[in-house]
Structure 1
């Protein structure tokens, strides 16, 4: 088993080479589809049909945006948590989807990346549904861990023989410091998820926005200490700004 690290539009992409099969640990962004296909065909010298599974850890643009297009190009099935399909449902969900796409462009501009086409369907159509504790279809060495908090459907993936794990956005990095992501929609669930991974006896952590890290270099307690106690997302941020302008307190008593 070998994990190849690709530089994506705004995130790292992790492509697993396991014998005669390839596994994509996340659906990346729409802007990354050509780069992933070129890496498989040119760098690895393999046919696109070797991609056997695309996992979507959650529905944000840099994790799900390329999934449908990659499935169309390679024939690989998409696997995700059951709740992923409804994350952007309804009027509020469609608004959140548009905001998340705009935020992705903003992050890209901060990274001095050009504006690229990243729009994708807010409705995921997975072929396989993943539950906590199961192994990935076709990749029995990889265990699925349900780690909600950032969204209500986040997944992490542990390669059990090597004790390596991909945790997507469970931890991010700001000004060189490891911190919780934005948003954190479910603070209590996030803290439990972080604690669960801290206790998983891992060797190496792969994050979407942090270079691979030995677990010994991560202070989970420090990240936990920075986790919000109230939801921190688009809706609550807007509500709090309005409340401050109107002179209302946003603190719960």
Structure 2
């Protein structure tokens, strides 16, 4: 088993190569589709049909945006948690999807990337739904761990023989410190997810926005203790800004 790391639009992309074929540990962004396909055919010298499975760890643009386009090009199956399909449903969901696309462009601009087409269908139709503790179809050395908090459907993918795991956005880095991601929709579940990872046999963690990190270098207790107690997402942030503005106006009058 070998994990290839590709530089994505705003995130790291992890492509697994083993005897069963190729496994993409996340759906990346729409802007990454050509990059992934070219890596498979040119760098690895393999046909696109060797990509067998694409896992969507959660529905944000840099983790799900390229999944369906890659499925069309390669014939790979797309897998996700059952809740992923409804994450952006309804008016509120479509609004959140639009905000998340704008945030992706904002991050890209901050790291010097041009504005690329990143729109994708916010309603996912996976070929496979994944449950906690099951192994990935066709890749039996990989185990699914349900680690919600960032969203209600986050997945961690653990390679049991080598004690390595891809945790997507469970941890991000700000000013050199590992911290909870934004948004953080379910803070209590997030703490439980961190505790589960801390107590697991995983030795090395691969993240979407952080270099591979040894468990011994992660102060899980510190992150858990300092994680927000209330949800932090677009709706709560907007509501809090409105409340603050109204409070200040009241004080002025």
Instruction: Judge which range, 15-24 or 46-55, deviates more.
Output: 15-24
Q: Is the 8 A contact 2:20 2:138 kept in 1?
A: no
Q: What SS is found at the alignment partner of 1:247? A: helix
Alignment correspondent of 2:106: 106
Q: Could you say which residue in structure 2 is the equivalent of 1:174? A: 174
Q: Which moved more, 1:193-202 or 1:135-144?
A: 193-202
2:20–2:139 Cα contact (<8 Å) kept:
no
For 1:80, the equivalent position in structure 2 comes to 80
Runs of 4+ in 1 over 3 A off after TM superposition: none
Q: Determine helix, strand or coil for the equivalent of 2:167.
A: strand
Alignment partner, residue 251 of structure 1: none
- Aligned counterpart, 1:240: 240
Secondary structure in 1 matching 2:71: helix
After TM superposition, the structure 1 stretch with the greater mean CA deviation from structure 2, 13-22 or 219-228, is 219-228
Aligned equivalent of 2:161: 161
Match for residue 251 of structure 2? none
How far is the alpha carbon of 1:83 from its aligned partner? 0.3
Matches of 2:59 and 2:226, distance apart in 1: 24
> Aligned with 1:165: secondary structure?
strand
Q: Which residue of 1 aligns with 2:65?
A: 65
Q: CA deviation at 1:19?
A: 1.5
CA contact (8 A) 2:155 2:167 kept: yes
Instruction: Please report the RMSD computed on the Cα atoms of aligned residues, expressed in angstroms.
Output: 0.8
Structure 1 residue 20 displacement after superposition: 4.6
More displaced stretch, 25-34 vs 222-231: 222-231
Q: Which residue of 1 aligns with 2:44?
A: 44
- How far apart in 1 are the matches of 2:34 and 2:106? 22
Q: Which residue of 2 aligns with 1:184?
A: 184
State the Cα distance separating 1:222 from its structure 2 match. Answer: 1.7
C-alpha separation between the residues in 1 aligned to 2:63 and 2:150?
13
| Paired residue secondary structure (1:3) | strand
1:207-226 deviations in Å (ceiling 9; x for gaps): 00001111111111121122
CA distance in 2, matches of 1:35, 1:222: 37
Residues 209-220 of structure 1 mapped to structure 2, 5 A cutoff: 209-220=209-220
- C-alpha spacing 1:20/1:144, structure 2 compared with 1 (3 Å): closer
Please give the alpha-carbon distance, in whole angstroms, between the structure 1 residues aligned to 2:109 and 2:194.
Answer: 29
Contact residue 3 and residue 17 of structure 2 kept, 8 A: yes
User: Counterpart of 2:136?
Assistant: 136
Q: Name stretches of at least 5 consecutive residues in structure 1 with no aligned partner.
A: 249-253
How many residues align structurally? 248
d(CA) in 2 for partners of 1:222, 1:114:
36
Say whether residues 1:195 and 2:195 are aligned partners.
yes
Any idea what SS the aligned residue of 1:116 has? coil
In structure 2, C-alpha distance between the alignment counterparts of 1:99 and 1:20, rounded to whole Å: 38
Corresponding position: 1:119 with 2:119: yes
Q: Distance in 1 between matches of 2:56 and 2:36?
A: 15
